[in-house]
Structure 1
């Protein structure tokens, strides 16, 4: 049994503060404090808040608000500032942190969003702690590089589940940290994440400008690390094409995709440099997605039908499932609801979280159900029930 004084000391609060909380005189109105309490007591935040019973059964495979708030609390920490005034807290060895970051990337690329979301708060705190602990040493750039990656992972996951403001914050943090790491390409990848968050927020013109401006800078930079540079450059162009499509600039879409296609041909086969999965097949997936954004579902479907299925099957699950979601939208645009349903089910089979946890997928499924004549097929009805989408 932990005494009030020991608990207060570990929490960094006074005994009087703990006593008031226990007696209900003082409310816990900051999630960061709740998280610290859970950490000291070594219990899950959900158990501490008693939120397990409130979770809807059909949403257990998705990130819920408790998990989002845990990530928010980790993003709100400013341990780097306190390091100026006192000795930084212990941090994991960089080799151990590097393994954890690599594993987090793998989970993201396989659309394991729930597992990733539950591990992200600790990974963020560990990476922030390492960045502080090694700030003045020879490994400062390594620690900053790892923290920059973790911010990018957090940004990507948060955008997937519709937390666009938090996604923007995490991506913006990554730019500053990546610059400290001295890695222009990591910074370019962070810019890509910022642009994606801006696009999700409806800030289309800034998203287009960020992608094109940074791509242009990379195009005239030193040709060192040419392969990696081409991968990041190409993805910026593709992301810019998606922004241009959102505002109906078809000529800009064609130009940007053509530039990315040229880079992909120079690069050769698909690469995962800086977690881009960039290559000829990814260019074609973006061509289809841009057509959907332009409202040209027929071109998107034709592009999908021309794909080399063997090469498509080699793409990582998250990217493939995202493509199936795009093509489901394309099929709804041409009125082929049966095919749209097939694409949703194929995406769900491949990477359930990419379909069940994304607000966009909920919108597409709602449209499919609305336009289905009579009773929907059993697999679609079952998916709708699991996703909480009304029939």
Structure 2
């Protein structure tokens, strides 16, 4: 797009934002005629102050207007590119709740309609359709921020809850795709908003997302502390009930704490936290998706295997996969969970030197949820390791998947 005149680039991004010339002009404080002349190249844009105003309205980096449109990242295979990252970054860096003190808030979508959009985004994530999700996230973030700024009272609490959920969705997707700093920012925002929503369990799930982001950033000690501290506050018992929602959030906080402890090599703490989560899972009785956690007995075993991989105990992870996980219950889990687990087991097989089985796990995961395997940097690392250690030519399905992933043989 860098060969286009700047006016055409303005028109392009205005179209991406689904803004009419009149609405765009109103937000800039200009006339529709002025916008039309800019887009046709009749009027020059030679003031940086105006360019920055346009970029702010379009919620993009000003460099994109100047034709500095980065190439797509080859390692992400079009799962997410730098343009989409910048759009999400711009949406995350907006402070709509502050600007409402100076300007009338933008009228957001009706809350029932927007609630459905957020639920759809959660399912898009849990079905591992990351490319679809990242393209939808900028608008979803802007709509959620507008709702949070616009509604008051009970509607305001619901709007805050929905914004907190959108931040969590963004954090989870960005972490999967290797954008760890942005994942942390989105997760941190979700914690603050959850307080406004007056929902302790939503704040607990936000803490889980923060822990995930911290772990991805290599801050395992902080991830362990934040998850365990909030888990202790939400633990069933005393004035806290033992309803399914609370059991699910509490259990997932313990499991995330176990993953952080495993990264630290603290096997004793891993066992303690998994034992606590196991009690919650048994009390819940079956795998559920309260607060979008997918928590339950089967997901607990998936985390037991994943923690073993983090501890370097690949054989234990494989044994957990083969002996402790009920195949019928596993098949009932959502695609992201299943493919994520198969990626973990691929790592476990690689740790014990069985690169053929490791490759088969990646192929199986790709059949379930291609984006979970093709879009994640960790999966690329595993595939590279498999190819490097395979004697002779790899089996055709593994070679084909490697080609799709862009991993050289």
Tell me whether the two structures share a fold, i.e. TM-score over 0.5.
yes
Partner of 1:163: 179
Partner of 1:226: 243
Kindly state the Cα deviation for residue 249 of structure 1 after the two structures are TM-superposed: 0.2
Kindly state the Cα deviation for residue 23 of structure 1 after the two structures are TM-superposed: 3.7
Partner of 1:312: 330
Partner of 1:72: 89
Unaligned runs of 5+ in 2: 1-6, 12-20
Residue 316 of structure 2, aligned match among 295, 299, 321: 299
Partner of 2:294: 277
Deviations 1:229-273 (A, max 9, x none): 000000000000000000100000000001000110111011110
Kindly state the Cα deviation for residue 227 of structure 1 after the two structures are TM-superposed: 1.2
Deviations 1:102-131 (A, max 9, x none): 000010000011111111110100010000
Deviations 1:72-121 (A, max 9, x none): 11111111111112221111000010000000001000001111111111
Aligned-partner Cα distance in 2 for 1:58–1:170: 23
Does structure 1 conserve the Cα–Cα contact (< 8 Å) formed by 2:76 and 2:376? no
Partner of 1:266: 283
Q: How does 1:33-48 map to 2 (within 5 A)?
A: 33-34=54-55, 36-37=57-58
Partner of 2:46: 25
Partner of 1:189: 205
Answering whether residue 255 of structure 2 is matched by residue 244 of structure 1, we say no
Aligned-partner Cα distance in 1 for 2:403–2:377: 15
Q: What SS does structure 2 have at the residue aligned with 1:139?
A: helix
Aligned-partner Cα distance in 2 for 1:7–1:190: 35
Give me the TM-score of the superposition, normalised by structure 1. 0.90
Does structure 1 conserve the Cα–Cα contact (< 8 Å) formed by 2:76 and 2:177? no
Q: What SS does structure 1 have at the residue aligned with 2:154?
A: coil
Residue 362 of structure 1, aligned match among 348, 367, 380: 380
Partner of 1:208: 224
Kindly state the Cα deviation for residue 61 of structure 1 after the two structures are TM-superposed: 4.6
Does structure 2 conserve the Cα–Cα contact (< 8 Å) formed by 1:292 and 1:326? yes
Deviations 1:21-74 (A, max 9, x none): 9646356998995474499xxxxx99996969x447895551111111111111
Answering whether residue 121 of structure 2 is matched by residue 115 of structure 1, we say no
79-88 or 221-230, larger mean C-alpha shift:
221-230
Partner of 2:363: 345
Q: 1:323 to 1:80 in 2, by over 3 A?
A: same
Does structure 2 conserve the Cα–Cα contact (< 8 Å) formed by 1:31 and 1:70? no
Q: 1:6 to 1:277 in 2, by over 3 A?
A: closer
Does structure 2 conserve the Cα–Cα contact (< 8 Å) formed by 1:171 and 1:194? yes
Kindly state the Cα deviation for residue 138 of structure 1 after the two structures are TM-superposed: 3.5
Kindly state the Cα deviation for residue 223 of structure 1 after the two structures are TM-superposed: 3.1
Answering whether residue 310 of structure 2 is matched by residue 289 of structure 1, we say no
Does structure 2 conserve the Cα–Cα contact (< 8 Å) formed by 1:59 and 1:386? no
Q: What SS does structure 1 have at the residue aligned with 2:286?
A: coil
Partner of 1:333: 351
Aligned-partner Cα distance in 2 for 1:29–1:312: 55
Unaligned runs of 5+ in 1: 40-44
Give me the TM-score of the superposition, normalised by structure 2. 0.86
Partner of 1:42: none
Does structure 2 conserve the Cα–Cα contact (< 8 Å) formed by 1:289 and 1:326? yes
Answering whether residue 401 of structure 2 is matched by residue 383 of structure 1, we say yes
The Cα RMSD (Å) is 3.1
Aligned-partner Cα distance in 1 for 2:64–2:129: 20
Q: 1:59 to 1:201 in 2, by over 3 A?
A: closer
Kindly state the Cα deviation for residue 137 of structure 1 after the two structures are TM-superposed: 3.4
Aligned-partner Cα distance in 1 for 2:351–2:136: 38
Aligned-partner Cα distance in 1 for 2:81–2:53: 17
